[in-house]
Amino acid sequence: MAEFRSKVPPYGFPDTLDEQEAALESHPMMERLALSRAFLAGHRHRPIYHYVNPEGMLNDPNGLCRWQGRWHLFYQGYPPEDPRQHWGHAVSEDLVHWRDLPYCIYPDPEERCFSGATLAEDDRVIAMYHGTRAGNMVAVSSDPLLLNWTKLTGAPVIPMARPGDPPLPYPVFDPCVWKQGDSYYALSGGRIPEGPGGALVAADYLFRSEDLEHWEYLHPFTENDRFTRVGDDGACPYFWPIGDKHMLLFFSHISGGQYLLGDYDTDRQKLVVTNGGKFNMGPAGPCGVHAPSATPDGRDIIVIFNMNPGRRTAGWNQIMSLPRRLSLGEDGDVLQEPVEAVAACRRVRQGGGPLTLPANTEVELQGMGGDALEIQASIAPSDASMVELDVLRSPNREEFTRIAFYRDRGYRDRSSRGRHIESVVTLDTSYSTTAPDVRSRAPETACVLVGPDEPLELRVFVDKSIVEVFVNGRQCVAARVYPDREDSLGISFRSQGTASEVTRLDVWEMGSIY
């Protein structure tokens, strides 16, 4: 509708890569984005090796995909001249070093371009997303840098009910899309009254199409979900194979990013759920993991999240997590690791080496620290009640962010696999800042399986206002932080009760990805 037409100038681009690159060199939108990125670069809490959009606000990541050898990330951007959701766009060779591209999908006929997913085919990329006050939309692109998009039919392909129409048997909201055989399938996120006493619980509703334009509603998609909580919803769904299973990633507006793992029954078109988990251990905000965007990569899945803020920042707010590689271990558990290319951000190794941690004594690392770091530490098994690593620590501990590991302090798995007691990792930001305007977040606490003779392997990423902690390639906890003191740069260890040995320690300064 004309009333929703974007105020951002529409741009068309050539169809060959060389011509597109030449057009981008002097493009007015590219110049504007570069100026804005340079202007905001000096903000103290703006990350340098996590992707942040070049101007304005940022919300959900969308449509992560690989096309003609390049990775593409889309996101809900808010252009200053028309601060409604448009799809922003960035491209990368390695999932870490991103290059900004112009906004690519604009509102009209929808009011706002909400979240969705992409499907990369041999000759085109399909984007399916929610257009507010209209319905779920499909747009396609086939040029080398995915700069030109065409909306199929120019109208929603799964429309919302109009005023006065009878209610639909399904919600029309965030979709994803995949193909099986000659048919396309799509999910529409929402809830269903199948919880205790008819309470609403997370659900995604399945549709089928032969041509992307005409869609038939089938049924709710998941079966045997015992892992989500009452009140969750299935926003921002992504459904992809992983190992010999399938995974449905989604966002709950009360519980944050989550996944369901199971078997895809292609005869009944159902995901029969066998496991589930969360990507944040509390509500989505403040400072927590928000929505996923995911794409297959062989037997693995690549996922990236936006991270919610804990304070207002002038001219920008949310950021992206590091992209994670999700895979299945030999026992069927979900493994999480940062993508390999993040190591390319290392600039200077500050130091490290073996380190003895005496009992009940804080050990500060001399000559090491900063607010843009990667820390790798291997800690031998010990009888210590707790091993702690603090980052962003001020000299007198007025501010610090605490990472604590409690070996064998979870629950005992009494299933047939006979596994031992799980351990617990905590990312505690309670003392990360003395600033009065930062909203506190309860500690992120997650279970992780670490064998009795297995060392604790930590990879900790600190980037201005985010800390991400990967534990033995099996678990990740992440949160936003806002240290207020200029000297909150230190690193320290502590072993509680008995001594521990850090058998390997490497601390790197990290460089900018732009």
Where residue 17 sits, what CATH number does that domain have? 2.115.10.20
Identify which of 186, 337, 203, 321 has the alpha carbon closest to the alpha carbon of residue 260. 203
358 upstream amide cis, omega within 30 of 0: no
Q: How many residues are present in the chain? A: 514
Pick out the chain residues at pLDDT < 50.
416
Q: How far is CA 439 from CA 135, 256, 483, in A?
A: 35, 17, 12
Same domain, 218 and 365: no
Distance of CA 185 to the CA centre of its chain: 23
Same domain, 318 and 392: no
Same domain, 154 and 293: yes
The Cα 433–Cα 486 span in angstroms is 11
Residues near 172 by Cβ (< 8 Å), separated by ≥ 6? 130, 135, 136, 156, 158, 159, 160, 161, 188
Unique residue bearing structure tokens 């992809």 = 240
Where residue 505 sits, what CATH number does that domain have? 2.60.120.560
Q: Which domain does 206 fall in, by range?
A: 2-340
Same domain, 335 and 404: no
* Of the residues 310, 340, 370, the one at which a domain ends: 340
Same domain, 282 and 365: no
pTM above 0.85, yes or no: yes
Looking at residue 409, what is its pLDDT? 83
Q: How would you class 301 by CB atoms within 10 Å of its CB: exposed for 0-12, middle for 13-18, buried for 19 or more?
A: buried
Same domain, 288 and 386: no
Same domain, 359 and 334: no
State pLDDT tens for residues 334-356.
Answer: 999 999 999 999 999 999 889 99
State pLDDT tens for residues 369-402.
Answer: 999 999 999 999 999 999 999 999 999 999 999 9
The Cα 244–Cα 241 span in angstroms is 7
The Cα 292–Cα 276 span in angstroms is 15
Domain count, the chain: 2
Same domain, 354 and 290: no
Q: Which tokens go with 271?
A: 């995901």
Same domain, 393 and 331: no
Same domain, 353 and 399: yes
* Of the residues 340, 361, 383, the one at which a domain ends: 340
Same domain, 419 and 289: no
Looking at residue 282, what is its pLDDT? 87
* Of the residues 325, 340, 355, the one at which a domain ends: 340
Looking at residue 412, what is its pLDDT? 61
Same domain, 197 and 331: yes
Identify which of 362, 436, 352 has the alpha carbon closest to the alpha carbon of residue 393. 362
